[in-house]
Structures are given as C-alpha cells and as structure tokens.
Chains A and B, each alone.
Chain A
Amino acid sequence: MGWYERIRDIDRRWIFLFMSVAVIVPLLYTIEFPEFPTPMVRDTFKVIENLHPGSKVLMSFDYDPASEPELQPMATAWLRHCAEREIKVIIMALWPIGQDMARDTITEVTRDLDERAKGGGPKTPWVYGENYVNLGYKSGGQGVINVVLTDFEKFYPVDTTNRPLSSLPIMKNVKSLRDVELIINISAGQPGLKEWVQFGADPAGVAIIGGSTAVQSPLLYPYYPRQLSGLLGGLKAAAEYEQLLGDKYPQYSDISQNKGRIRMGAQAIAHLVIMLFIVVGNVTYFVERSRGKRR
C-alpha cells in the first residue's frame, strides 16, 4: 500500500480527533485573533449608533440552542449596544425556544449592568417595563408579524409576566410595528429575517437589521442594503461587531465578555483544519489519478 493510499483511506475517527483538538484547545486557552470589521458589519453598527436615546426598537429572537453559539453573541452585543445608547427594547419571539434565548440574553446583559452599577454606573438603571420588555413567544410565524404590523395587543394582550401591555411605560405610544424606529431580528431559519423583511419592515416602512447563521446569510444578501439596513452573517460577523462595540465602549473590550471573539478563535483553527483536509484530499486524488494514467 502506497503512502497516498494510506492517507486516502485514513479512518474517519482520525479526522474527528483532529477536529476535536482544533476546537477544544483554542476554547480552553482563549486563543484570540484580531478582527477587522467588514463594511457590512460597520453599516450594521452605525444603524444603532445613529438612533437617538429613547428610541424604541423591536427585537425578535427567532432561534434555538442549536444555533446559539453563532447567534447568541450577536443578540448579546445588540442588547448591550441598545442599553448603552439608552434605546428602549421590545423583545418577542416567533420560535418557541426563542423566549428562553431572549431571557438568557437579558439575564447576561442585566448582570453586566448591575455589576457595573456597583462600581459607579451606567447613567440610568435598565428597568423592566421601562427600558425593555419581554412579550414572549406566539405561534403563527408570519401571521404574528401580520398582526403586530397594525396592533401589538391583538396578539400580545400581556407580557411574559402577565402585565397588560397598556400598563407598561415602554409601550406608551407604541400601538403597532409602525411605531418603532427599528426592527432587529436574530434568526436561524423560518420564520426569520426574510419574513420580517417581507411582512414586517417593508409594509411598515421601518428600518430593519438582522443576524443569521453563516449557512443562512447567503440567502439574505439579496435584501441588503435596500431592504435590510444591516446584516451580520455567522460567528465572524458577531465577533467583528463585538470588536466595534469594544472599541467604542471600552467596558466591553475585555475578551472574557465577548463569546463571539472567544469562539472565533476555535472557528478559525477549525477552518484551517478543514482547508488542510481539502488540500491533502486533493493531493491524494491527483497522485492517484496521475499513477492511473501512467499505468
């Protein structure tokens, strides 16, 4: 058996072992690589930066734990950004588990803000019902978007804490989707960003930005930049956004607070390993082919 045959017929468990090491080691040792934000990520960042304090945005969590590693860093970064800019956030979900993903994100951001408050501050506390609200999950996919387009209370008479929407200060002057300044959607499939553009943002005439998994983002490129003001595609874009946020707000520059940048180290090495496998696979293929021709 020739050397190339041994490599060609390598047991797949060796490949799995390489991949495991490539992912686990960078995560254990927090290997960090520099991020250079692309224009699309910069545009997305600018959308939030350009909102004035007190603006109201709708944030929909349309993903589940399967895509959490890619999408959670985006959600956290956006919520932190909104909290820093004193932007009020109305949170909802079109995926059943999205409500839990939202709650986890809120817990993380609130914990950070509370810890900082002990040491002097944010300027104003981040209060439930005033600065943010969680409306929770409703089934119906784009049907829910269709209804909130004209009236939130038709689908959401109460929030997740059973408080009527009309009693919440954040919902004052917000009857429908048309009354928010921006829609932010983090999605891993359907219903997701595409449905929010088609059934929500476009008919309401409201700007929309969103984040999706790396696999999904090519499907969303046709909507950018006219219908989608910003798009974050995959973990790389999340890490770039975290970089921008850390540069602008130094309280978020520490890598231990940025899961996207931590995970990006592992992803970069994993990409390298995959590329290495592709090269080796092609070398064995061409050696095999040239030997076959010679015979």
Chain B
Amino acid sequence: MLVKRTIPLLITGIVGAVLIFSKLFPAAESLGEDFSIYFDIIAVFAFVLGGGNLVKIHADKIYKQAKGWGYSVVCVVGFFATLIIGLTKMHNPEGIAGDLSAQGSYFQLIYAFIFKPLAATMFALLAFYVASASYRAFRAKNLEATVLLVSAFIILLGRTFIGTWLSFWTPHGEGFGIPQLAEWIMNYPNLAGQRAIMIGIALGIVSTSLKIILGVDRGYLGTDSD
C-alpha cells in the first residue's frame, strides 16, 4: 500500500505544489526548473516503456497470427532496424559522437526516404476524405447545418483567389470583400466561441489538477488489481 499508493500520492502532491509555488514565489523558481529537468529523465524511461509496449503488443499479434499480423512484422522489423541503426550511428560520417541525423548516415536516410514520405502521405490522404465527406455529409438539413455550411463556404472562398475575384464591389485586397468577411468570421464568431471553450477547459484543468495534487482523484494510479 505504501509503495503503490502513499508514495506516488506524496510525489504527485509535492511536485504539483512546488510547480504552483514556483510560479508564485521567485525564490522557488529554480526548484520548478529542476523538476522540469527531472521530467526529461523520466521521459527516457517513458521511451523504454513505450518501445517495450509496442514490441509486446505486436509480438503477441505475430505469435497468435492475428488478423493483419504481417503489418506487425513490418512494424517490429522497422522498430528494431531504426533502433539499432540509431544507437550504433551506423555509417555516420561524424562517428559515434556525431549528430544523430548527420547527412549521409543511415539513420538520416531512413528519415528522408521512409519516415518523411510516409508521414506526408498519411496527412495528404486527409484531402481525399475531406472531399468525400463534404460530398456526403455537408448538407443544409436544418438551420444550424445551414449556418455552418454558409460559414464554411465563405471561409473556403475567402482562403483562395476566387474570394478576391468575386468581391467585385471592392478593389482587390481592399475594402470589405469575401476574404475580409472570412477574416471577420474568424475574428468575431470564431473568437468568441474559442474563448468560451478555452475558459471552460482552463477551469476544468484547474479543478482536475487540484484534485490530483490533493489526492482526491487517484485514477492515474490504476486499480489495485493492476
């Protein structure tokens, strides 16, 4: 109980309180910084835990030959290949002490020719889904949907040259045309909504943080059976 509950609760409470006080009292400022640096050390363990978890889940999938286990093989092989190449700094022109991503190193090649195109492709696919969803779901079914549709249309127009060209009543880029209307939507209705959401979230964060620091909310510790 002491190791599983009391000590973690004490650590959380002390760290949380110190970080709050470090903002309020200049004398405690350096203590807050030290805790931020400790976070960097803890993050190292998180990397190990994250990597271990990834391997465990996918190894299990491969062992049981679950649906799509072939992708898990690619994932595990990719993980270990990148890890080994990164740790040994294979083919790094600056040697083992050099920059991890030095030009010409195998780690850099993995980044440039595998990771970068894959990440960009995943994001680019969004355009296709947006187009398909806009065709099937963006309908003026009721008043709210119509307001949303009209606003989206103005923003889309305002974010392209067409908005400027269609604003024939005003000189290009001047006066109050469609691009300015799009800006107005962003600066007023959007801003008001965003502020309300942000204030709500901030109050929620304050209350949750206080509950965690004071040990009222213990959900992050998991259950006794964990």
Contact = CB atoms under 8 A, between A and B. Distances in A.
Interface of A: 10, 12, 15-16, 18-20, 23, 33-40, 64-69, 97, 99-100, 103, 136, 138-140, 143-144, 146-147, 150-151, 154-155, 160-162, 214, 217-219, 221-222, 234, 236, 267-268, 270-275, 277-278, 280-282, 285-286
Interface centre among A15, A65, A277 (most CB of B within 10 A): A65
Contacts of A99: 101
A137 to B, nearest CB: 10
Contacts of A10: 135
Contacts of A38: 179, 183
B61 interface: no
B91 interface: no
B132 A12 contact: yes
B39 A140 contact: yes
Nearest to B191: A221
Given A15-B132, A103-B101, A36 B179 contact: yes
Most buried by B among A20, A38, A69, A273: A38
Interface of B is mostly: helix
Contact of B134 (A37, A222, A277): A277
A15 B187 contact: no
B111 interface: yes
Given A146-B32, A281-B134, A218 B161 contact: no
Given A34-B164, A139-B43, A146-B36, 4 more contacts: A10-B135, A36-B179, A69-B123, A218-B190
Interface stretch (B63-71, B72-80, B112-120, B212-220): B112-120
Nearest to B197: A219
15 contacts: A12-B132, A15-B131, A36-B164, A65-B117, A65-B119, A140-B36, A147-B37, A162-B98, A214-B159, A234-B159, A271-B157, A277-B131, A278-B153, A280-B135, A282-B139
Contacts of B141: 285
Interface in B99-126: 99, 101, 111, 115-117, 119-120, 122-124
B33 interface: yes
With most chain B CB atoms within 10 A of its CB, the pick from A19, A214, A221, A267 is A221
Interface of B: 29-30, 32-33, 35-37, 39-40, 43, 97-99, 101, 111, 115-117, 119-120, 122-124, 127-128, 130-132, 134-136, 138-141, 149, 152-153, 156-157, 159-162, 164, 172-173, 179, 183, 186-187, 190-191, 194-195, 198
A40 B140 CA distance: 32
A218 B151 CA distance: 14
A268 B111 contact: no
Contacts of B123: 66-67, 69
A19 B132 CA distance: 9
A20 B36 CA distance: 46
A184 B101 CA distance: 23
Residue of A20, A39, A272, A278 with most partner-chain B CB within 10 A = A278
Contact of B120 (A69, A273, A274): A69
A249 B165 CA distance: 26
B178 to A, nearest CB: 11
Contact of A140 (B40, B139, B161): B40
A161 B101 contact: no
A272 B128 contact: no
Contacts of B124: 69
A40 B179 CA distance: 12
